[in-house]
Amino acid sequence: MQVQELGHLVLYVRDIERSVRFYRDVLGWRQILPAPGDGGELDRKPFAAFNAPSGRTHHELLLIEVGEDAAALPEGRRVGLYHFGLKIGTTDDELRAALAKLAETGTPVLGMSDHTATHSLYIADPDGNEIELYVDVPGIDWETPEALGSPAKPLYL
């Protein structure tokens, strides 16, 4: 067996409407299910599916509501997902635009890093799932160990 690509991500969330607003309105995902505006509260579903504006595949993100009483993610070191990365462009100007959008929506930035091969902003969704928003640095040779194994440095935008 050989993995061809990462297909999709599924996250449990406490409040589907709050999470839909974050992923759709802050991060710009295209909601595909349930179709936005279909039936309002009476048609409320405990899930939402999205794909990126590129329409690369049938869905890339699925959110499933588990309710407000669900256990929180444990603090500190733990086994499991650390973060997932979303490529948002190819230039630092696009990263700066993302930073402005995050400030406009009141989304805290947890950190900013220069990884040599990528420049990254780190945020969390409303349930504490960490997300890396990144751009690839032009001209980096991905075949060199230095490009992938360099220690992270502070990023100044």
Question: Based on the domain organization, do 103 and 58 belong to the same domain?
Answer: no
28 φψ region: left (φ > 0), alpha (ψ -120 to 50), beta (else): left
Domain assignment present for residue 74? The answer is no
Q: What is the pLDDT of residue 42?
A: 43
Domain assignment present for residue 35? The answer is yes
* Number of independent structural domains in the chain: 2
Going by C-alpha positions, the residue among 26, 20, 31 that lies closest to residue 97 is 26
Rounded to whole angstroms, the Cα distance separating 110 from 4 reads: 31
Structural domain for 101, as ranges: 83-154
Per-residue pLDDT of the chain (157 residues; tens, 9 = 90+): 999 888 999 999 999 999 999 999 999 999 999 986 665 554 578 999 999 888 888 899 999 999 999 998 888 898 999 999 999 999 999 999 999 999 999 999 999 999 988 999 999 999 999 999 999 998 888 777 777 778 899 999 9
Q: Considering the entire predicted model, what is its pTM?
A: 0.91
Q: Which class for 10: exposed (0-12), middle (13-18), buried (19 or more C-beta within 10 A)?
A: exposed
Question: Based on the domain organization, do 139 and 92 belong to the same domain?
Answer: yes
Question: Based on the domain organization, do 61 and 88 belong to the same domain?
Answer: no
Q: What is the pLDDT of residue 40?
A: 57
Q: Tell me the pLDDT of the chain averaged across its residues.
A: 91
Question: If you compute the radius of gyration of the chain from its CA atoms, what whole number of angstroms results?
Answer: 17
Here the CATH number for the domain that contains residue 45 is 3.10.180.10
